[in-house]
Amino acid sequence: MENFVVSARKYRPSRFDTVIGQEHVVQTLKNAIKNRHLAHAFLFCGPRGVGKTTSARLLAKTINCTNLSEDFEACDQCDSCRAFNGNASFNIYELDAASNNSVDDIRGLVEQVRYAPQGAQYKIYIIDEVHMLSAQAFNAFLKTLEEPPPYAKFILATTEKHKILPTILSRCQVFDFHRIKVDDAVKQLKKICESEQITAEEEALHVIAKKADGAMRDALSIFDRIVSFSGNTISYSDVISNLNILDYDYFFKSTNMLSNEDLPGSLLLFDEILNNGFEGQHFLQGFAEHLRNLMVCKHPDTTKLLEVAPNIAGKFAQQAQSCSSTWLLNALNILNQTDFNFRQSKNQRLHVELALMKLCNLQRAITLTGVDDKKKSLN
């Protein structure tokens, strides 16, 4: 663990090929480089932690590389690449508009634009969180963006595209970055495990990827945290206890009990969950997600929406068989309502217990009202 470098930095992509989950962006950028048809301004939009700034830097490095590879990647060896990799490039400027958003900050940058690049083809300006620029700063920037010198390239990045003025938008080639899919994040975590000689249970990596909610950067920082906690072996149980996540086994058990009208069993199980330090709402939300997962297993077209480790997917498919779509839909409704009213409830424990009682009687209610379940699909 000596000289520990956070994974987000250590495994930051250094080639377009290693950018995760943004193939559509990489392909378009590479084509533009190949055809020498570069826009003079780019706008990278998308949620946080998905590789916008990394891609901006890669683009900057690549278009100034004097020795591009056959597949249009930077060589990492020419003067320009070496200067870039050593953070010493005179031709690439980065401005974080979150902390430098005044008109003076932008004026400083605009001043720079007048001078031609040194020893490279382009001067590149990366402005992160560009939506944070003040209105005045935006206006000062607009003129430069309208008539930039041929050697200047602007790469703007934002998490909030809707806050960008239409006058700016219309002058940029816009790229929409996607959230990182759980599977893609897991793949990347597996690679890191391999090169760091860490053994990890696949379910453990899935939980980390899921928790990161589409941001690779978050997945990596959670991963680092778990590694510093559990060393070179990462187990599912370590991860869920570290992240304070309810074991999916609880939800499989609850579903079984409730669909078999085992009220005592489900109340006792909920008691156990509370005793383990989890909140009632935590259980409600986790349970709703579990039922949602069972619901997507009901139809072959939607099973791909199930974001769990492959070895658990089978368990979901099996349990989905034993629950009718009508039961699942009504159960989800009850859980949703209970979650919605949870904060207002004076007795939150009873509030959840009441939901469990309703769920326990659900099958009977469905049978009584004669709603059948011939259509075993989502509609």
Of the candidates 25, 58, 59, 65, which one interacts with Zn ion according to CB under 5 A?
65
> Which 183-212 residues touch Zn ion, going by CB under 5 A?
none
Q: How far is the CB of 63 from Zn ion (least distance, A)?
A: 10
Candidate ranges 78-86, 150-158, 244-252, 345-353; the one touching Zn ion (CB under 5 A):
78-86
Of the candidates 32, 38, 39, 75, which one interacts with Zn ion according to CB under 5 A?
75
Candidate ranges 69-77, 87-95, 235-243, 283-291; the one touching Zn ion (CB under 5 A):
69-77
CB 284 within 8 A of CB 339: yes
Q: How far is the CB of 119 from Zn ion (least distance, A)?
A: 12
How would you label 307-338 residue by residue, b for 16+ Cβ within 10 Å and e otherwise? bbbeebeeebeebbeebbbbbbebbbebbeeb
Q: Please say which residue, 18 or 336, places its beta carbon nearer to Zn ion.
A: 18
Of the candidates 8, 38, 39, 78, which one interacts with Zn ion according to CB under 5 A?
78
Q: How far is the CB of 313 from Zn ion (least distance, A)?
A: 44
136 to 175: interface string for Zn ion, x by CB under 5 A? ----------------------------------------
Q: Please say which residue, 62 or 188, places its beta carbon nearer to Zn ion.
A: 62
Q: How far is the CB of 29 from Zn ion (least distance, A)?
A: 16
Q: How far is the CB of 61 from Zn ion (least distance, A)?
A: 7
Q: How far is the CB of 65 from Zn ion (least distance, A)?
A: 3
Number of residues that bind Zn ion (CB under 5 A): 6
Candidate ranges 10-18, 79-87, 190-198, 330-338; the one touching Zn ion (CB under 5 A):
79-87
Q: How far is the CB of 191 from Zn ion (least distance, A)?
A: 24
Q: How far is the CB of 94 from Zn ion (least distance, A)?
A: 19
Select from 317, 243, 325 the least CA-distant residue to 286: 243
Candidate ranges 1-9, 25-33, 72-80, 368-376; the one touching Zn ion (CB under 5 A):
72-80
Candidate ranges 43-51, 67-75, 152-160, 178-186; the one touching Zn ion (CB under 5 A):
67-75
Q: How far is the CB of 183 from Zn ion (least distance, A)?
A: 32
Q: How far is the CB of 56 from Zn ion (least distance, A)?
A: 17
Q: Please say which residue, 72 or 151, places its beta carbon nearer to Zn ion.
A: 72
Tell me, letter by letter, the H, E, C secondary structure of the chain.
Answer: CCCCCCHHHHCCCCCHHHCCCCHHHHHHHHHHHHCCCCCCEEEEECCCCCCHHHHHHHHHHHHHCCCCCCCCCCCCCCHHHHHHHCCCCCCEEEEECCCCCCHHHHHHHHHHHCCCCCCCCCEEEEEECHHHCCHHHHHHHHHHHHCCCCCEEEEEEECCHHHCCHHHHCCCEEEECCCCCHHHHHHHHHHHHHHHCCEECHHHHHHHHHHHCCCHHHHHHHHHHHHHHHCCEECHHHHHHHCCCCCHHHHHHHHHHHHCCCHHHHHHHHHHHHHCCCCHHHHHHHHHHHHHHHHHCCCCCCHHHCCCCHHHHHHHHHHHHHCCHHHHHHHHHHHHHHHHHHHHCCCHHHHHHHHHHHHHHHHHHHHHHCCCCCCCCCC
CB 355 within 8 A of CB 284: yes
Candidate ranges 62-70, 151-159, 213-221, 362-370; the one touching Zn ion (CB under 5 A):
62-70
* Beta-carbon contacts of residue 364 (< 8 Å; ≥ 6 apart): 261
Of the candidates 81, 182, 212, 291, which one interacts with Zn ion according to CB under 5 A?
81
User: Beta 123-128 vs 173-176: how paired, if at all?
Assistant: unpaired
Q: Please say which residue, 74 or 215, places its beta carbon nearer to Zn ion.
A: 74
Q: Does 45 bind Zn ion (CB under 5 A)?
A: no
Residues forming the site for Zn ion (CB under 5 A): 65, 67, 74-75, 78, 81
